Structure 1
Amino acid sequence: MLPLPLQDLPAHVPVVAASRGERIESIHHGSAVVLDPGGNIVHSRGDTSAHFYPRSALKPLFAVAILRAGLQLSAEQIAVAAASHSGSPEHQRIALSTLHAAGLAENDLGNSTDLPYGVTEREDWLAAGGQATQLAQNCSGKHAALLALCQHLGWPTEGYLAPTHPLAQLLADTVEELTGQRITAISTDGCGTQVYPLSLPALARGFARLSCAGPGTEEHQVAQAMRQHPELVAGRGRDVTELMQRLPRAVAKDGFEGIQAVGLADGSALALKIADGSDRARMPLTIKMLTDYLPDPPATLTELASSPTLGGGVPVGVLTAL
């Protein structure tokens, strides 16, 4: 595939700097947007019109589609369906419970195989002789819920990831409705499910729909499950889990290649993309956008705003948003 012409590249701007000693060593570029409760852009950096793949940030929106279609899940199962989980025994147990409740098994999963995503979880898994599996892969909760929905609706479980499967249209229609943006292109995510390019305002609108949804709606059900179980949405020591714990009314989800979306209870929301796909720049920019917007941000939120640059195992610089 040929690269895009240079004039089509997103107009990213410098957003995060890494220092070492007294000098700036690296600069990460990116784009970000904050929407107020009315959906208006109140803060922005970089390119707010370019389209980016949200990657795993689509999972909470997919969870809404699953519930709307009639599948009954517990709050824990919903949280894991919306998760890029760390692969702990608890994460794997809950994903497997979704399969078993539908009369399905682990070998029905169609996602890619991987080791647990969390560092500690991966080390423990390998020490116990574990290998890469579909259940340990960070998207297994989503795939378990998609399979269970197919079983519930009488759709084929084999080939559930095919673009011609009725599941594909259900997911696309729901993302279009929640984000307010028409889907004009489809590709394939790392785990095998479909992924669509969206603008940052559209992604933020989707998370605003979740975060301020009223009781009785599927959007509220997904948001509440994520708020009640932030440790299931990512994992112990993961920044998305810590963000929701420090900002309890928030609904937050990251995505590979430097994507982050956050919805707040008043209906405001943010979305961002780090140009080089770097994960280390994602949270500093997220916290910068939040603290610039929130009138009284929790003091503990700023603890996630930067991280040290190490030299010889000790801090010699800092990673910070510009």
Structure 2
Amino acid sequence: MAVVAEQTHSDFRYRPWLAGPFAFIALLVVVRFLLEIFGVPHQLTSYLSSTGAVYLVAIYLGAVAPLRGVRKSWQIVLPGVVLAAWTQAWVILFTVISGVLKLEKSHFAEPQDWGNSGHLFHHILGHLLDIVPVAIVVLVLMAAMLVLWRWPVTVGPGAVLGGLVVIRFWSEVLDMPPVVSSAWSSTVVFLICGFFLGGVGALIGMSTPRKLLVPAIVLGWTWRFWVFVAMLMGAAFPYLKTHFYTRPQGHVWTYLLGAFALEVVVVGLVGGLIVWGMASWTVWALRTRGPE
């Protein structure tokens, strides 16, 4: 009976945590398929890419996990893997439908898949193999958000910054005009986070610069960590062309280690100190103004 009660309690926590995001992924794939069938150009439907959306969902799940009773890293492993598999399962479903029915307007199946079970099988196998790298990235994003809960004031800004990096990454992969993709820059939003940190910090007892220092530096490192993850994806999948990663002349791993030291540790620290100064000024301004 104790085991059953514990399992029921676990289901109660996980079900509301996962139901909405999983339904969103399924709906996204279905809507994209229907829009393509009704003749909407692929240039527009590609914006509904489940490949990019799954990473936004991962950030969201990591951000709200403790609110659903999920506080330990091992608790996100199975949901993260299932999320990656769930996303690919819906893509595979419509790949099979498009291939068997020879739906020319759908991007899910290639022309070589139509009536060619062997080619269709290899296409499906490729999606199955994609589960592993997608799951790894999903787990990294979820775990990073879970770590931020040690400093709750950083969770919201960290999630927004991560979302912006994901959106910009995929907007560049989709070859959007630079003026459009650059509009999703996380740099300006990161600076705005300084005002958020000071304003919210003053409301939750972080009313001195000393108390704001660590969260500000953590936020700086979080921002650059998201950028570094985008660099890793560019290195792992060279066909994803973005400004985040340019293949170096020398060894890739040497380049990435140097980028981590410079882009994450150093730039993140400097950025965190800048945000700390802005947050400290905000706290000071709120304290000197006082209630009206």
Q: Same fold (TM over 0.5)?
A: no
- Which structure has the highest strand share of the two? 1
Greater share of helix:
2
Q: TM-score, normalised by structure 2?
A: 0.26
TM-score (norm 1): 0.24
